Structure 1
Amino acid sequence: MTKCAREVMEILEAYDLTQCAHSAAQLAGCDEKTVARYVELRDTGRDPAERARRARSIDPFLGKVEELVEASQGRIRADVVHDKLTAMGFDGTDRTTRRAVAELKATYRAGHRRKYRPWIPEPGMWLQFDWGEGPRVGGRRTQLFCAWLSWSRFRVVVPAWDQQLPTLIACLDTTLRRIGRAPTYLLTDNPRTVTIDRIAGVPVRHPDIVSAGKHYGCVVHTCEPFDPESKGGAEHTVKIAKADLVPTEANLLEEYSSFAELVDACERWCEKVNARPHRAVGAAPAERLATELSRLHVLPEDPHLLALGEERLVGFDQTISWGNVRYSTPDGHQGTKVWCRVTGDELVIVARTGSGIAEIARHRLSTPGNPRIVAAHYPHHPDDGSVLRLPKPRPRTAAEIDFLALGEGAHRWLTEAAAGGVTRIRHKMARAVEFAHVLDAGRVDQALAVAAAAGRFGDRDLASILDHLAAAAQPGPVVVVDETHSTQPGTAGWGRVGA
């Protein structure tokens, strides 16, 4: 029976005191042969607590097991080894085989463990990024673009709807502009948006991501599979996001009502973690970023075209089509190309302007059959944009020119009279011009506006309105004549006769 460490120490202490195995056995309460065995183990430099290895039935086959483990580089299964040993005459249990295989695999791994030098990043050299699953917005899944500068540990988290290439480049542009400058290298995993193929183990870069790297002055690198430094470093960014962001009561929630709320939550989290000291470097990332900025290079003024989104052609009705929905643009971009991208639940439209590339419109996303038209984009159409617009008077004869020269009231009177089917319009227009020669043209134009608003187009209505305006210091509210209005007195007074 094996003694515990305390009992072994008592046995050795008793022997050192008496220098006699018999006496030490009496003091320790054990057999003197036990005392002699532990003393011998200690004197030969072996561990007294080490158990003596007993012979096993698999010992004659250990050489074969070691050969199989070595040939398979530690990958062969114990059940396969057991079948081979059984065919060679081994009559032990599979449990014995599993124990022997596990011991030899551990020995093989210890002798063939990979050795590498720890990666120590330099300031201004590396930016690592990867994707992580984000909270839901209105039941829809989101993605978190997680990036950090390897030296300063400055972190940036940008939410997005997907991981497509334009979204990736737009998130990179947002990250670099939030940092303020760009590093030399960009390091990430091997997604299809970055690595499109591998030939003889060499990654083939996506041409668009290479173009984006050249635009920002960065070289895009991908991590080496199974490499603890490059791949582990890239994935550590996502581990940070998952541990610190998604979802905890202290940080992000499981779901948000709008994408803007998620953006604000991510920005607040970044401000918090970048302001507190980082355990690995002993300083706040924001403080180290101030030092690292001098080693970063300047960003181009305009973002990469893929970051702007997809191209669209502006029609002559000042609209573009996105997802079978028409969205309006300001005047001056007809027939030119613009770029559209989805940011949260909004469509952002960007175009080249006199001062460079700039955002010209932003719309809430809509569905087919529900276009997004902003009235401010059509200052030359002050109405509601309907197809049935009021005709604009265009005078041709001298009489028409004289009448419409009176002012806006004359324009409105003519439009309303024509729409109402008024007869003898030319005669009434001539009478108005005659009144303007006698009276002030402004008063006549005002009377015409009142007549158009009240719907009074009779032969003597204009003269009556002119008399009323001359007598009244301030004209009262206009009463529009319609079928629901009557000047006939009511019969309520007759009800009081019999009272």
Structure 2
Amino acid sequence: MKTSREIMEILEAYDLTGSYRAAAELAGCDHHTVARYVQLREAGQSPVAREHRARPIDEYLEKIEELVVRSGGRVRADVVHRRITAMGFTGGERTTRRAVAEVKQRFQAGQRRVFRPWITEPGLWLQWDWGEGPRIRGRRTSLWCAWLAWSRFRVVIPVWDKTMPTIVSCLDTTLRRLGGVPTYALTDNEKTVSIDHVARIAVRNPEIVEVGRHYGMTIRTCVPADPQTKGGSEATVRIAKADLVPTDANLLEEYRTFGDLEAACRGFCEQVNDRPHRETRRRPTEALAEERTRLHPLPGQAFTVAFGTTRRVNWDCTISVEGVRYSVPHRLVDTRVWARFHGDELVVTAVGEHGPAEVARHPRSTPGTPVIREEHYPPRENKDGDRTPSATSAEEAAFLALGPGAAAWLVEAAAAGARRIRPKMAEAVALAKLHPATEVDQALGTAAIAGRFAENDLIRILTHQSGRDQAAPTRAGEAHSLQPGTSAWSNFGLTAAVGDEGEEL
């Protein structure tokens, strides 16, 4: 077979000479070849089209087509080759692969899905989908990717999970960024949206239906396992993952904290919403300003599920979330609050007469490590109440009336396990009648500091303080020393020894 270039050179030579033989001499081929290509061109057929040659595999094409149709175009070429080899085919596997590829191409051409262009209307459709986000300290994250169809405005929010409170919180945040509510919202058939399918009809989760009613929006789902029915949000997921998830292609560094990922998502949204869209040639922020006039007004308060899961406040002013106790203001004792995790923080919300309000925010903790804040508890009138004596009888009141030294003596004596505390208290009251009460109180304070709680210790201290037993202090002079002398050694070795006969030895 001649190549396309050789065929065109043959035809050009014939147009130049007008003779088969002369053209054949110029082109370097047989004149019958020139005649055949010229006749094909005059008959309106393509001279460069290859003629089909009979192949040994042609008699097995019907079987190959049958296998391709039965498998929906998924059968492997090696499987087909084993089947037709058992039927007598002696060719190679490479020939079979080419034949299977041709049959699959014709099959897919007949089964190819044709889409009708979607002409969007302002204020009508919102789509959202989920994408797998980057890992932060080994923990998985997810990306909420929402897309307003007409203005092409995108919202990307990172989250830790895809529970119902998280979904409602992301939906509320998205609608408030848009500044209104569209008529429809389209998403996947996850259990938080569709709990079942009956006769290919999606059965909605009652809670998500209530969410839609709260915002005045109808939530719909795409055909199961058919992401092409919501291509706008799919494209948003693809673009967000390409720009936010660290890969070898974008050379992004890993995120150290969840706050870093939140900042990156905000920067991504500002970037894509502030540049002209390829389809509309307009910036999505400009188109959103126009579309807001067609959106429904937002309710003043978010749906309560957006605040998280409910928790009852215990009498110790704490709630339990994932086995960890977190404190809340004491005025909320025995009421219900809503708690949800936002990044690395726990946000506690209470709904009162004036609507929902955030009442506490704690860093995420682990079981066994409660998070308690002092400002959540009422101020204590006496923080040291267990160490401040309070009289319960006239005798106790008379003793404590002596002053702070008496109170200190009682506390220290009780802590030291002193015996006969009450008689000693009565003794101190009696001494206060003989001596000034201030001196007795001072003596009691000194006894408390020195730990002197034995019998008559108070009298000794009081006498010492009054100065009656104070003598002139004895001070050693320069000639006096406490070091023992050496006079004892003066007679050592000089003692006379007397023998048996009385003679000096």
Superposed pair shares fold, TM > 0.5:
yes
Counterpart contact for 2:336–2:350, Cα < 8 Å: yes
Distance 1:306 1:7 in 2: 74
What SS does the aligned partner of 1:7 have?
helix
Pick closer, same or farther for the CA change 1:339–1:425 going to 2, 3 Å: farther
Task: Give SS of 1:141's match.
Answer: coil
| d(CA) in 2 for partners of 1:217, 1:6 | 67
Question: Residue 315 of structure 1: CA displacement?
Answer: 1.8
Name the CA distance, whole Å, in 2 between partners of 1:57 and 1:74.
Answer: 23
Q: CA deviation at 1:88?
A: 5.7
Q: Assess if the C-alpha contact under 8 Å between 1:124 and 1:183 holds in 2.
A: yes
**Cα pair 2:147 2:232 within 8 Å, conserved:** no
2:455 corresponding residue in structure 1: none
Q: Contact conserved, 1:311 with 1:338, CA < 8 A, in 2?
A: yes
**Residue 269 of structure 1: how far off its partner (Å):** 2.1
Q: Please say which of residues 197-206 and 226-235 is displaced more in the overlay.
A: 226-235
| SS of residue matched to 1:350 | strand
Which residue in 2 is equivalent to 1:57?
56
In structure 2, the partner of 1:333 is 332
**CA distance 1:214–1:14, change in 2 (3 Å):** same
- Mapping 1:117-156, distance limit 5 Å: 117-156=116-155
Q: Give the deviation of 1:368 after TM superposition.
A: 2.9
2:26 match = 27
Secondary structure (helix, strand or coil) at the match of 2:105 reads helix
Which residue in 2 is equivalent to 1:9? 8
Q: Cα RMSD between the aligned structures?
A: 4.2
- Residue 459 of structure 1 aligns with which residue? 440
Instruction: Give the distance between the partners of 2:235 and 2:332, measured in 1 at CA.
Output: 45
State the match for 2:294 in structure 1: 295
Tell me the distance in 2 between the aligned counterparts of 1:252 and 1:352. Answer: 45
Identity of matched residues, %: 52
Would you say 1:38 and 2:30 are equivalent positions? no
Distance in 1, matches of 2:229 and 2:53, equals 46
Larger Rg: 1 or 2? 2
- How has the CA–CA distance of structure 1 residues 157 and 68 changed in structure 2, closer, same or farther, with 3 Å as cutoff? closer
* 3-state SS of paired residue (2:234): helix
Letter in 2 for 1:41: L
Partner of 2:171: 172
Change (3 A) 1:182 1:411: farther
Alignment of 1:294-373 (within 5 A): 294-373=293-372
**Residue aligning to 2:209:** 210
Who is 1:238 aligned against?
Answer: 237
Alignment-derived partner of residue 160 in structure 2? 161
Write the deviation string for residues 59-99 of structure 1: whole angstroms up to 9, x where unpaired.
Answer: 34445544555565545555565566556655555544443
Matched, 1:419 2:379: no
Residue 112 of structure 1 is matched in structure 2 by 111
Query: How many Å apart are 1:390 and its aligned residue?
Result: 4.6
Deviation at 1:239, TM superposition (A): 0.6
Q: 1:273 to 1:99 in 2, by over 3 A?
A: closer
Instruction: Report the Cα distance in structure 2 between the residues aligned to 1:347 and 1:281, rounded to whole angstroms.
Output: 41
Amino acid at match of 1:150: A
CA contact (8 A) 1:135 1:252 kept: no
Kindly report which structure 2 residues correspond to 1:240-259, keeping only aligned pairs within 5 A, or say none: 240-247=239-246, 253-259=252-258
Q: Does the CA contact (< 8 Å) of 2:324 and 2:367 recur in 1?
A: yes
Per-residue Cα deviation, 1:328-354 (whole angstroms, up to 9, x for no partner): 211321111111111112111111223
Q: Name the counterpart of 1:191.
A: 190
Deviation at 1:139, TM superposition (A): 3.0
Q: Report SS of the residue matched to 1:130.
A: strand
Q: Aligned partners of 1:359 and 1:78: how far apart in 2?
A: 63
Q: Structure 1 residues 24, 121: CA separation in 2 closer, same or farther (over 3 Å shift)?
A: same
Structure 1 position 188, deviation (Å): 1.4
Question: Normalising to structure 1: TM-score of the pair?
Answer: 0.77
TM-score by length of structure 2 reads 0.76
One-letter code aligned to 2:305: L
Q: d(CA) in 1 for partners of 2:71 and 2:134?
A: 44
Structure 1 range deviating more: 80-89 or 258-267: 80-89
What 5-or-longer segments of structure 2 have no aligned partner? 414-423, 452-472, 482-505
State the aligned residue count: 449
Amino acid at match of 2:196: D
State the shift of 1:361 in Å.
0.8
Does residue 284 (structure 1) correspond to residue 265 (structure 2)? The answer is no
CA contact (8 A) 1:314 1:334 kept: yes
Note if contact 2:227-2:234 (Cα within 8 Å) is conserved in structure 1.
no
Q: Which moved more, 1:123-132 or 1:255-264?
A: 255-264
Other-structure match for 1:443: none
Counterparts in 2 of 1:125 and 1:394: CA distance versus 1, 3 Å: farther
